[in-house]
Amino acid sequence: MNSRSRNMWAYFMVAPTLIGTLVFWSWPAFYSIYLGFLKSENFGLVNHWVGFDNYQKLFKDEEFWQNLKNTLKYMVLFVPSTIVLSTFFAVLLNAKIKGQSAYRVIFFLPQVTMPAAAAMVWVVLFAQDYGLLNHVLGTRVSWLSDPRFAMYSVVLVGVWAAIGFNMLLILAGLQGIPKTLYEAAEIDGAVRFNKFRYITLPLLTPTLFFTTVVLMIGASQIFDSIYLLIGKTNVALPSVRSLVYAYYQNSFVYYDQNYGAVIVNILLFINLILTGLQFLFQKKWVVYD
Amino acid sequence: MWHKSKKSTFLLVAILAFTMIMTACSGNEKNNGNQAGESASNEQSSQPAGEQPAKEVTLSYTIWDMIQQPAMEAIAKEFTEQHPNIKVKVEVIPWGDYWTKMSAAAPAGTLPDVFWMHGGQFIKYATGGFLEPITDKVQAGIIDLNNYASNLGSIYTLDGQNYGVPKDFDTIGLAYNKELFDQAGVPYPDDTWDYNKLAEVAKKLSHPDKGIYGFAAKLDTQVGYWNDMLANGGYILNEDMSKSGYDDPASIEALKFRYQMVLDKASPTHQQLTDTDSTEMFKSGKLAMIFEGSWRNVDIDSSEIIHGKWNWAPLPKGKVKRGNIINGLGNTMSAAGKNKQEAGLFLEFLGSKRAAEITAEMGAAIPAFKDTQAAWVKSKPDLNLQVFIDQASDAVPYPSGSKSYPVWFAKESEIMSQAWGGAISIEEGAKKVAEMMNQAIAETK
């Protein structure tokens, strides 16, 4: 077989994934950019070109800036706590303890639970009158409808759901660290914390970098837990509404796909910049061997 | 050489086949989309039902109320007995997702063959050409719109074309928990009640420490403050639907009156009512009184806690009159359906007296067909369902029927929830809603 036909086969093999990505990811992304310049009528069958009108409207919209702030706040709260807790539990579960697999299953459970079902359980736990949380704490806080607490409640559920999977990724990273390094450190008399600080952490940085990038993109697209936990008639909605939630509202509730499109286009732009910056600065802290 | 060419041929064929599948798909979609724009009613009249060989057809019938599913299935079953070649599959999409799904299905040409229509959404779908006109059937007398009560036949008409067959109507009533009234020694609500009496009794029956409240003064439109606003002499939209009535002083006064009941602890707070639906609270015996629509009757009565211990009364009178909203649902068919002739037959049956009787006897909803309402009233003999029929004559039609309705209606609850949650004042909220509504009306002109 010559190289040309071998390439053909390679393309053929990746075609299902490639076509899927192009059709379901790339095409909608480009189409969203196009939609942002239009004013659509009649379910998008009639379109008028309006240039940057939608963007002008967006930048004048106070609600948009609040939503942007909420999204960034969620990212700032969610990403570091998930990384720290996932690493913490991964290191614990990497040690030889009794019932290790049982613990791994328990921590991974949220990942295999249906998010909608899990959210419904959280709604009950958070309930003001009969909720378990208020019962245990002896308080009467409305965790999900008080603007002061709602964001933290959403972050809590988000972190709870994210730990399992990220812990698994980090655990895989931990097990890739050669045992000989620890043995050498022990011979040199290193204590446990120093082993973590000077061996585990540096060699874990590639994994941590990957999880940070993925978590940040995921966090910026937060929607489902707000939709399920907060709901649309909640007085706290303005203080937790994310950009994607605003996109959903404008596109599918108010039927203004064009305004919805400019919101996600801004989000795409932000994510491109954030990811670009992370790749730029990774040299400073990520260790590849 | 042979080896290689065989492989590339295979590859070529595979890619070709794949491309064909892809283009076939998109081609189909386009066709359906175009069809939606044109009316294809002549196809129907040219082929009378009897002459066609009966082909096996399954129609999709989509509704949004799970409680009415058994009744709709009973109607479909009886229709299939008359037309053995046509089967009907009843599908439920909950109200919260219904219009989102329909607005995606409409341009894609995948609307269900027959589906429930709401007055607020009708104009959008009719002007877009997504609904099949039934004008021919109406003119031929196959469907007689005079058969339906309270002028309901006119709701689904646009520019002289008929699109919908009236299905049912609904009005609002005051549901009360007899047990809580008995315990406090207060007489049950009746048609002499006014809003002051409602507030007074609500306060008397409330025991916040026990989690029991007199009334649910919740943020809601059709089963909430719209009735209050009308009773107090305010309005939701003016006659020609060009201006919001939310900033009318009488409307604001009515809104404030309702909110005062929350402040007086005669009602659960907005937060509590966000956490738990007020009707669910009523069903579990925690609320003495709620406003609720006739469509929730079966649902409330199915609660074992409250069964036999509750009843309906008319809404209280306001300063000016007794407010009430009447809304009529319709059945419509898709213009892009593949089996429009069969769908038309099913639509005829849905508008028939027999279908109305099934709806009434199963207690699903108040049928729109004249003189079939009594059967609905009798569907639950121990409940005073007559209040819904009696209030229909004075009730104001649901303020839909404009292109701007879906836009302002969706935004209304978000603004009002800020007021109900205490973030802004009621007056500020009402004025914001009025401003938003007027803007939506201007933009969709």
Residues B369 and B433 in one domain: no
Find the domain containing A187 and state its range. Answer: 61-285
User: Is residue B324 within 8 Å of B159, Cβ to Cβ?
Assistant: no
Asked whether residue A23 is domain-assigned, the answer is: no
CB pairs under 8 A between A and B: 86
Q: pLDDT band for position A1 (50/70/90)?
A: low
- Which among B289, B317, B98 is positioned nearest to B202, based on CA atoms? B289
Q: How far is B415 from chain A (nearest CA, A)?
A: 9
What's the pLDDT at B46? 41
Asked whether residue A9 is domain-assigned, the answer is: no
Mean pLDDT by 10 residues, chain B (445 residues): 50 50 40 38 43 77 92 93 92 89 90 93 90 89 82 82 91 95 94 94 93 94 94 91 92 96 93 86 94 92 93 94 91 91 92 91 88 89 92 86 84 91 92 94 82
Asked if A235's CB is within 8 angstroms of B422's CB, the reply is: yes
**pLDDT of A31 higher than 70:** yes
What's the pLDDT at A2? 67
Residues B293 and B357 in one domain: no
Q: How far is B407 from chain A (nearest CA, A)?
A: 5
Nearest to A254 among B11, B107, B410 (CB): B410
Residues B297 and B412 in one domain: yes
Q: Which residues lie closer than 8 Å to B26 by C-beta, 6 or more apart?
A: none
Give the pLDDT confidence of B297-340 residue by residue, as tens digits: 989 999 999 999 999 999 999 999 999 999 889 999 999 988 88
Asked whether residue B129 is domain-assigned, the answer is: yes
CATH number of the domain residue B225 falls in: 3.40.190.10
Asked if B4's CB is within 8 angstroms of A145's CB, the reply is: no
Residues B303 and B213 in one domain: yes
Residues B165 and B183 in one domain: no
Residues of B in contact with A255 (CB under 8 A): 103, 406-407
What's the pLDDT at B384? 93
Residues B114 and B197 in one domain: no
- Which among B367, B368, B353, B340 is positioned nearest to B60, based on CA atoms? B340
What's the pLDDT at B52? 52
Residue B115 three-state SS: strand
Domain count, chain A: 1
CATH number of the domain residue A233 falls in: 1.10.3720.10
The secondary element (H helix, E strand) that includes residue B315 is: none
Residues of B in contact with A238 (CB under 8 A): 418, 423
Residues B180 and B238 in one domain: yes
Asked whether residue A233 is domain-assigned, the answer is: yes
Share of chain B above pLDDT 70, in %: 88
As a whole number, the mean pLDDT across chain B is 85
Asked whether residue A6 is domain-assigned, the answer is: no
Asked whether residue B40 is domain-assigned, the answer is: no
What's the pLDDT at B362? 87
Residues B66 and B142 in one domain: yes
Asked if B8's CB is within 8 angstroms of A5's CB, the reply is: yes
Q: How far is B23 from chain A (nearest CA, A)?
A: 13
Residue B304 three-state SS: coil
How large is the average pLDDT for residues A176-205?
89
Asked whether residue A140 is domain-assigned, the answer is: yes
Q: How far is B215 from chain A (nearest CA, A)?
A: 17
Asked whether residue B19 is domain-assigned, the answer is: no
N-terminal to C-terminal alpha carbon distance within chain A = 36
How large is the average pLDDT for residues A123-146?
86
Asked if B410's CB is within 8 angstroms of A237's CB, the reply is: no
Give the pLDDT confidence of A59-99 residue by residue, as tens digits: 999 999 999 999 999 999 999 999 999 999 998 888 877 88
What's the pLDDT at B435? 95
Give the pLDDT confidence of A246-257 residue by residue, as tens digits: 999 998 888 888
Asked whether residue A217 is domain-assigned, the answer is: yes
Find the domain containing B347 and state its range. Answer: 52-170+327-378
Residues of A in contact with B443 (CB under 8 A): none
What's the pLDDT at B331? 94
What's the pLDDT at A43? 78
Residues B97 and B223 in one domain: no
What's the pLDDT at B284? 93
Asked whether residue A56 is domain-assigned, the answer is: no
What's the pLDDT at B93? 95
**What is the Cβ-side half-sphere exposure of residue B283, based on CA atoms within 13 angstroms?**
15
Residues B263 and B135 in one domain: no
* Tokens matching residue A207: 């994994």
The CA distance from B373 to B375, in Å, is 5
Domain count, chain B: 2
A50: left (phi over 0), alpha (psi -120 to 50) or beta: alpha
What's the pLDDT at B6? 53
User: Is residue B331 within 8 Å of B164, Cβ to Cβ?
Assistant: yes
Residues B249 and B299 in one domain: yes
What's the pLDDT at B11? 52
The CA distance from A269 to B191, in Å, is 61
